[in-house]
Amino acid sequence: MFRHRLSISSWSLHRCLGPLRWTVWDESSQSQGSATEAQPSEFSLLELPAIAASRGLSCLELCHFHFPSRDDAYLRQLKQAFAEAGVIFHTLLVDYGDISSPDPVRRESDFRYLKEWVDAAAIAGASAVRIVAGEQSPDDAASISRGTQALLELSEYAAGKQVRIVTENFRSLTSTVSSWKAVMEGAGPSISTIVDFGNLAKHEKEEGIRYGAPLAHSIHAKPEYEEDGSIREDRLLELLRMAGQANREAPVSIIFDREGDMWEGIERIKAVILKLDEQSLR
């Protein structure tokens, strides 16, 4: 069911890939700024595709804050690294931007900034860019409308570069199933979504997966854990089975963000996911 569509987000290796280069809104300059968070550097982003291939992963999703450069030469190197490894650059995940903001200066500035990442994705060979629908309240219809319209405009721009725009149940605007649905239904078929188990409220988890999985560009498999740190295997398998039955093509990205060795944590989650393949063969 999942063996040939396993992926990870680079967030699952955020203590391995060197500094995190966060993008922040600078009120004083009314533009994007940056904040660097030191992290260990065990390998580079250019080395990751080959490492992923050696671990049986067929796709990768890379967070924008892991990019040390957006120079064309670096992006072409990254594209070549994916090609040599035989791994798909499925999604460039941009973890910044409020295209739902009521402030036109912020909204338009963030929109221009996100277009730059679409340009980078096109050069690096990413099939899609994940855009946050917005940071505003999920109960604000005007914000939902602004975020949806901006997604559509970005999608039109990206289409000319053979890149797709996707969003996710991520951050405030799409933090409830109803607001997520409102964005997706307003955007229509040109926008797909990432479904992240960990971003769904517990009381909406099954409803969210049933809704989002058929529309999914990728599925983020973030497990729940027992108090002793062990994975709640039965619960993860239940959610994966639900998602897998609704979508038999979307990659499944392993999300690990706890303490401890990151590759060991990824492999623990991967082992649970592959149990579904074993069960389907019986």
DSSP 127: S
Res 189 pLDDT > 80: yes
Q: Given pLDDT bands bounded at 50, 70 and 90, which one contains residue 281?
A: very low
Report yes or no: 236 and 224 within 8 Å, Cβ to Cβ: yes
For 224-247, what is each residue's pLDDT tens digit?
Answer: 999 999 999 999 999 999 999 999
pLDDT at 26: 97
Res 279 pLDDT > 90: no
Percent of the chain predicted with pLDDT > 70? 99
Q: Using CA atoms, how far apart are residues 107 and 177, in angstroms rounded to an integer? A: 24
pLDDT at 282: 46
For 108-125, what is each residue's pLDDT tens digit?
Answer: 999 999 999 999 999 999
Q: What number of CA atoms fall less than 13 Å from residue 224's CA on the CB side? A: 15
Could you give the domains of the chain?
3-280 (3.20.20.150)
Res 277 pLDDT > 90: no
For 7-51, what is each residue's pLDDT tens digit?
Answer: 999 999 999 999 999 999 999 999 999 999 999 999 999 999 999
Residue corresponding to tokens 């604000």: 140
Please indicate, yes or no, whether the overall pTM of this predicted structure exceeds 0.75. yes
Mean of pLDDT over the chain: 97
Which whole number is the average pLDDT over 140-158?
A: 98
For 168-183, what is each residue's pLDDT tens digit?
Answer: 999 999 999 999 999 9
* H helix runs in the chain, sequence order: 48-54, 72-85, 104-124, 141-159, 177-187, 205-212, 233-246, 262-280
Q: Using CA atoms, how far apart are residues 258 and 264, in angstroms rounded to an integer? A: 11
Residue corresponding to tokens 């959610």: 239
Q: Given pLDDT bands bounded at 50, 70 and 90, which one contains residue 280?
A: low
Question: CA torsion angle for 144, 200, 17, 90 (degrees, to 10)?
Answer: -70
